[in-house]
Chain A
Amino acid sequence: MARKKPEQEPDPELDMSSMIDVSFLLLIYFLVTSTLDPKEADLGMTMPTSQSGSAPVEIDQMTIEVNNAGHIVLNDEVLDTNPDSRDVPLLLDRLRTYAESANLTNSKPLVVIAADDAAKGQRFIDVLNTLADKSVNITNVTISGFQEE
């Protein structure tokens, strides 16, 4: 008697190699087509509040003006005039002296930035950038010329 043998199914085997091929292809495609955005960094400032603790020895605050042409003016003296340059060497020099004298008198330096309404944001950031320089390092900054409402 011929009995029918139960048909044995072959072991299902998954071939991984083509999948890996495809994934590598995708990886290379995205590697080539993607552009990385540069990381955004922080430039900080703290506005002085009335609720500060111990009152430090007073030192004259320094007012830096930025006019609408992008010139930086300090006590009616025009310092850096090229608005396309990111370096402001003359202002940096003045600020160093100011920070040093503040350190010597053990008081907290305070800088007021009086920027013209029409001045470019980049120029304002240039001043803040100079204040954040390691040799100056002033974070106590206030902005003048707020609009009255």
Chain B
Amino acid sequence: MASEKLKALRLDEGAAMPMDMSSMIDLVFLLLIFFMVSSHLIITQIDKRVKPPTAKNAAVAKNATGRVVVNVLADGSIWAQDNVELTSSEAIEDYIDQAKQRHDQASPQILTRLNLRADQDVETRVIKKVVQAAGKVGVVDVIFGSYVVER
């Protein structure tokens, strides 16, 4: 008699066990927000048209503050970060100088650096031109964007 009752009870419990998802979703959102807040992204806009050269001694950057990004395409054209073409040496100087001044006001303790993303097939003439323009406005640290592994 008693075993019949127990069996019925057990069957009853197994049949309808509603799973409450809401707490799980709460937790997932909490984790998502935690990682969104705790991670600091390296924000440099990457121009997809540039295929950077390979350098196995290059190091992946930990932070990207104080960078002025200049993209150089394989055809030798020079582009600023916000998709504006720089056609003359003066334009490059102006662009780097403006970025440097903006950055010096925001955080004067960090040196402004030139992040030169030059295509692997570009002529060295163009690289020299950009580096020279940067040197003229007082940006002497140059970072060449490159891949560690050959693609």
What secondary structure prevails in chain B residues at the interface with A?
A: mixed
Cα of A42 to Cα of B122 in the assembled complex, Å: 18
**Contact (A119, B123) CB under 8 Å given A20-B21, A40-B46:** yes
Cα of A140 to Cα of B54 in the assembled complex, Å: 21
Nearest A residue to B131 by beta-carbon distance? Answer: A143
A116 within 8 A of B: yes
Closest CB in chain A relative to B112 CB, distance in Å: 13
A121 within 8 A of B: yes
Closest CB in chain B relative to A122 CB, distance in Å: 4
A145 within 8 A of B: yes
**Contact (A66, B58) CB under 8 Å given A40-B146, A47-B140, A122-B53:** no
What are the residues of chain A within 8 A of B129 when measuring CB–CB?
Answer: 147
B58 touches A42 (CB 8 A): yes
**Contact (A42, B60) CB under 8 Å given A47-B131, A122-B120, A125-B144:** yes
**Contact (A66, B150) CB under 8 Å given A40-B145, A44-B141, A44-B143:** no
* B19-68 with Cβ < 8 A to chain A: 21-22, 25, 46, 52-61
Closest CB in chain B relative to A70 CB, distance in Å: 10
B99 within 8 A of A: no
Q: What sequence of 0s and 1s flags, for each residue 135-148 of chain A, a beta carbon within 8 Å of any chain B beta carbon? A: 00000000101110
A residues near B, CB below 8 A? 16-17, 20, 37-49, 66, 86, 115-126, 128-130, 132-134, 143, 145-147, 149
Can you add 15 more A-B contacts, CB < 8 Å, to A44-B143, A46-B140, A117-B128? A38-B147, A38-B148, A38-B151, A39-B148, A40-B46, A41-B59, A43-B143, A115-B128, A116-B124, A117-B123, A119-B124, A120-B122, A121-B126, A125-B144, A129-B57
